[in-house]
Chain A
């Protein structure tokens, strides 16, 4: 049982009554990623859960658990034999959505794909895109700097990651980026589950069309050609066409729907903390640390799911075979058992093992590119617009589910 009463001593902060009074619901037995209260009180809920609720359960839809401590998240993420990705990473997955390779597969299928995909997003390759990404950051800033204000998300944050990924890695035209960003956002956050499926289907169709067209073109030796060349699985079968399409979809989801949140949050933090802005301007060497700290504290991926392949116990909670388990990366990155004052942002922290890019074999394949994008953003922005603030009434708005996204942020200078 995981009802808070079976433990040796009862913590008055985690009784159902105390939880309902504080969070509006019994977080331990009745959690909901899509609850607007979770969106509104995101930091407080994460900080509380990682300290007080190692495992929580949701009754929404088919139900799911959330694993919250860093040690448990790491152990489960590395134990793909017991916590399988082959049934998907989304809780209450929309019906009919094909599984996305390689994210929704286990070794050895996963290994086959990662081995050929990793070289396209290695630190070395991503470093070679750095100047192009900086140029793009400046091109975006050029569009609004004279105006003295901007809406950061639509005019910068939602564009730069897509430009960086499409122009440098996928060779996709950026004209259709807005449509794809919208499709991914609505597919993730639309309140209606059927609507989510429809939006995802639109993204699939667009990317499959592109992949088909590329298969008729001469090889460029890029990531798309690697996908088209495919892999042979260990049983001798050749990866089918649907797997190839799903890889492009998976990479696009990751490439355009996540980094924006870290960017927007970092810029918002700097807009509201002039001392931190000055610190990074005076000591640019800290930017690298700052990016890790912002990524730790502003996680775009709140949690990703696994399916238990056998009965298993996690921090005293019994999980049955077949049940869905979310690894709460956002909580694990704030575990006080592994860092001092995790609820504070401190860009001088060094060597903090955060889990914003995931843990285990499914580590975010775009992590190296994301770091290039974030470095370019902070350095070029602070160079061009060293003084800026949130416009009155333009405070950021958020939406949260298993991902977290910033919808708008109005700045002026």
Chain B
């Protein structure tokens, strides 16, 4: 499972990392998703947390990319 983090839409709510800390990391500097604009691989076993993190984003900034 891969997730793309929209560079423009991410606005620093921080919900993704709250629900899926092993998937989504926040920048120490500003608290926005550290991988903004990139596509990341969800570690095995973290799919459920990732789904919750994706769902909780008020911006819908996280998009599952079919691979």
Chain A positions within 8 Å of B, measured between CB atoms, are 74, 78, 115, 118-119, 121-124, 288, 350-355, 357, 359-361, 363, 367-368
Contact of A119 among B9, B29, B59 (CB under 8 A): B29
A164 to B49, CA, bound (A): 32
A-B contact list, 22 entries, CB within 8 Å: A74-B58, A74-B59, A118-B29, A119-B30, A121-B31, A122-B27, A122-B28, A123-B14, A123-B26, A123-B31, A350-B52, A350-B56, A351-B19, A351-B53, A351-B55, A353-B56, A354-B58, A357-B13, A357-B58, A360-B11, A363-B12, A363-B13
Contact A74 B19 (CB under 8 A): no
Residues from chain A with a CB closer than 8 A to the CB of B12 are: 118, 363
Residue in chain B with minimal CB distance to A361: B11
Contact A360 B14 (CB under 8 A): no
Confirm or deny: B36 has a beta carbon within 8 angstroms of a beta carbon on chain A. no
A74 to B61, CA, bound (A): 11
Min CB distance B4 to A, Å, is 16
Residue in chain A with minimal CB distance to B60: A74
Residue in chain A with minimal CB distance to B6: A78
Min CB distance A196 to B, Å, is 29
Q: Which chain B residues (32-58) contact chain A, with CB distance < 8 Å?
A: 32, 52-53, 55-58
Min CB distance A328 to B, Å, is 14
Contact A78 B59 (CB under 8 A): yes
Residue in chain A with minimal CB distance to B19: A351
Across chains A and B, which 3 residue pairs bring their CB atoms closest together, nearest first? A351-B56, A122-B31, A118-B30
Min CB distance B57 to A, Å, is 6
Min CB distance B28 to A, Å, is 5
